[in-house]
């Protein structure tokens, strides 16, 4: 069973409303200090109250998940009305929500153009599993990089997402799953039996997060703030294709778990698969991994390795992989390649993947094959509308496959 809700009619009304009034700045995605400054600059909060008001709003936005000032009961009615005149804490428009039989959910969000010419659309995927629920978040619309097996790489970068838009993916997913205090989870939803519905996040959606460093950093620091969304940094994984100069900063300034899209163990092949390798070759990438702040057996780096038939899937490749990662506290994630229309690559045979995995298991790395999820909503995504510069249907298919197959293990 696949459920799909087209929310465009409601969205169109929102868009009309939004068209009538200039867009109000959102308070989501600001640091506490910026939040206080925004309140003071608007003239509705005196300087001496800025810190206290910022703290109040922080609680409502990130602990209670309130998306309308009217729900902020310990703030006076007059101040709530003033806040509403100047700012917003509203959620973005959900164009579509799809629910797979296995509980995987996928949202298509629409954000304002913000310099891109037209509104932009991105997808966020929720993957419930025994004991945890992982949200796969996008950081850019499109990608500047051109990994040859990835269809997102064929779509030009439209723009970076803002910190607000990155967080909005998490807040809205939690809304839809009833994952805030005093909210009900929708009937029949598949979520972890206990604890938080979204317990983990992975920056493994569209885009290269380290090419949007500042916004990603801001959003992840808010997501992990102990007085707010409170996700443990060990349950947040950022995946990069290998933007070496930003890797140390990721550990130092954000402090989340790192995943590397490795996919090849020698420069000649990696140059072809992940062209950023020409700029930052394996030697530099591996050195940056070894120097990753906080690295230990309890805090390992995940190395993602897409299984491409007759390209990188031989036992010699497996040997190369073990040799390359020697001495680095590492997890290995083998991702069966998700084919897309027009690609020249094929997924390795299952037997080959198992042999490769066995070799890696024998070398001391536990169960590394990632099982694809939510296949049925991939099939159903032909229903998605495509009428702007945003992704064509084939691009979206490949992206969804990538997000669902590549989600992390933290
Ligand atoms: N841009 C970042 C984040 C994307 S994460 C990065 O490259 O790390 C998604 C993971 O899925 C990456 O490891 C990516 O290389 C991989 N991937 C991309 N296209 C894929 C495909 N068609 N099949 C399987 N995995 C794919
Ligand atoms: Fe961009 Fe990652 Fe796809 Fe490479 S794999 S093109 S970095 S999204």
Who lines ligand 1 at CB under 6 A? Answer: 147, 149-150, 204, 208, 239-241, 261, 304, 306, 335, 337-338, 398, 401-402, 405-406
Query: What's the rounded Cα separation, in Å, for the pair 345 and 153?
Result: 14
From ligand 1's centre to the CA of 261, what distance in Å?
A: 7
* Residue ranges per structural domain of the chain: 10-89, 93-377
150 C-beta closer than 6 A to ligand 2: yes
Task: Confirm whether 10-89 and 93-377 share one CATH topology.
Answer: no
29 C-beta closer than 6 A to ligand 2: no
Better-predicted residue by pLDDT, 387 or 120: 120
Nearest ligand 1 atom to the CA of 260 is 8
Write 30-38 long-range contacts (CB < 8 A, 24+): 30/163, 31/218, 31/221, 31/222, 32/58, 38/87
What pLDDT, in 10s, does the model give residues 279-295?
999 999 999 999 999 99
The confidence score (pLDDT) of residue 17 equals 46
The confidence score (pLDDT) of residue 132 equals 93
Is the pLDDT at 393 greater than 50, yes or no?
yes
The confidence score (pLDDT) of residue 101 equals 87
Mean pLDDT, residues 153-175 taken together: 92
Which of the residue ranges 118-127, 307-316, 344-353 has the most confident prediction, judged by mean pLDDT? Answer: 307-316
Better-predicted residue by pLDDT, 263 or 342: 263
Nearest-CA neighbor of 207 among 162, 273, 170?
Answer: 162
From ligand 1's centre to the CA of 360, what distance in Å?
A: 20
The annotation places the binding site for [4Fe-4S] cluster at 143, 147, 150
Mean pLDDT, residues 257-269 taken together: 98
Q: Which of 405, 407, 410 to mutate to test the pocket of ligand 1 (most atoms within 8 A of CB)?
A: 405
Query: What's the rounded Cα separation, in Å, for the pair 249 and 247?
Result: 5
Better-predicted residue by pLDDT, 84 or 195: 84
From ligand 1's centre to the CA of 161, what distance in Å?
A: 18
Query: What's the rounded Cα separation, in Å, for the pair 50 and 37?
Result: 7
In this structure, are residues 38 and 25 in contact, taking their beta carbons and an 8 Å threshold?
yes
The confidence score (pLDDT) of residue 9 equals 45
To the question of domain 93-377 being in CATH 3.40.50.720, the answer is no
To the question of domain 10-89 being in CATH 1.10.150.530, the answer is yes
Mean pLDDT, residues 304-325 taken together: 97
What pLDDT, in 10s, does the model give residues 327-383?
999 999 999 888 878 889 999 999 999 999 999 999 999 867 877 676 566 422 222
Q: What percent of the chain has pLDDT over 90?
A: 72
Nearest-CA neighbor of 175 among 164, 184, 166?
Answer: 184
Better-predicted residue by pLDDT, 16 or 327: 327
135 C-beta closer than 6 A to ligand 2: no
The annotation places the binding site at 143, 147, 150, 207-208, 239, 261-263, 338
Three-state secondary-structure class, residue 302:
strand
208 C-beta closer than 6 A to ligand 2: yes
In this structure, are residues 322 and 341 in contact, taking their beta carbons and an 8 Å threshold?
no
What pLDDT, in 10s, does the model give residues 181-239?
988 888 888 999 888 999 999 999 889 999 999 999 999 999 999 999 999 999 999 99
Nearest-CA neighbor of 405 among 381, 379, 373?
Answer: 373
* Cβ within 8 Å of residue 298, ≥6 positions away: none
203 C-beta closer than 6 A to ligand 2: no
The annotation places the binding site for S-adenosyl-L-methionine at 207-208, 239, 261-263, 338
Q: Which residues pair with 331 in a beta bridge?
A: 302
The confidence score (pLDDT) of residue 157 equals 83
Query: Annotated catalytic sites, by residue?
Result: 123, 381
pTM of the model: 0.89
């Amino acid at each position: 069973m696949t459920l799909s809700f087209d929310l465009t009619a409601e969205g169109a009304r929102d868009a009309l409303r939004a068209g009538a009034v200039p867009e109000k700045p959102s308070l989501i995605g600001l640091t506490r200090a910026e939040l206080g400054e925004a309140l003071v600059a608007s003239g509705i909060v005196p300087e001496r109250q800025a810190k206290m008001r910022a703290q109040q709003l922080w609680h409502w936005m990130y602990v209670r998940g309130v998306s309308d000032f009217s729900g902020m009961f310990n703030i006076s009615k007059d101040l709530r009305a003033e806040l509403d005149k100047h700012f917003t804490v509203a959620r973005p428009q959900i164009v579509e929500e799809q629910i797979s039989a296995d509980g995987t959910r996928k949202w298509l969000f629409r954000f304002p153009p913000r310099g891109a010419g037209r509104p932009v659309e991105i997808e966020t995927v929720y993957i419930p599993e025994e004991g945890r629920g992982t949200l796969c978040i996008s950081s850019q619309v499109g990608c500047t990089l051109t990994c040859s097996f990835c269809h997102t790489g064929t779509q030009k970068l439209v723009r970076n997402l803002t910190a607000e838009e990155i967080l909005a993916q998490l807040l809205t997913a939690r809304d839809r799953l009833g994952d805030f205090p005093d909210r009900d989870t929708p009937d029949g939803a598949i979520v972890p039996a206990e604890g938080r519905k979204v317990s983990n996040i992975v920056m493994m959606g569209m885009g290269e997060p380290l090419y949007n460093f500042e916004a990603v950093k801001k959003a992840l620091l808010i997501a992990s703030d102990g007085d707010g969304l409170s996700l443990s940094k060990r349950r947040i994984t950022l995946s990069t294709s290998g933007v070496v100069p930003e890797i140390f900063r990721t550990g130092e300034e954000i402090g989340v778990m790192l995943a590397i899209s490795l996919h090849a163990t020698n420069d000649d092949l990696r140059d072809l698969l992940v062209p950023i390798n020409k700029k930052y070759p394996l030697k530099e990438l591996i050195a940056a991994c070894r120097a990753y702040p906080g690295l230990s057996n309890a805090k390992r780096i995940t190395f993602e390795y897409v299984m491409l038939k007759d390209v990188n899937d031989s036992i010699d490749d497996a040997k190369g992989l073990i040799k390359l990662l020697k001495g680095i506290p590492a997890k290995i994630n083998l991702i069966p390649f998700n084919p897309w229309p027009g690609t020249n690559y094929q997924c390795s045979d299952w037997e080959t993947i198992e042999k490769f995995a066995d070799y890696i298991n024998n070398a001391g790395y536990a169960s590394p094959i990632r099982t694809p999820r939510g296949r049925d909503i991939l099939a159903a995504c032909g229903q998605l509308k495509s009428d702007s510069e945003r992704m064509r249907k084939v691009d979206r298919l490949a992206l969804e496959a990538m997000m669902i197959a590549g989600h992390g293990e933290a």
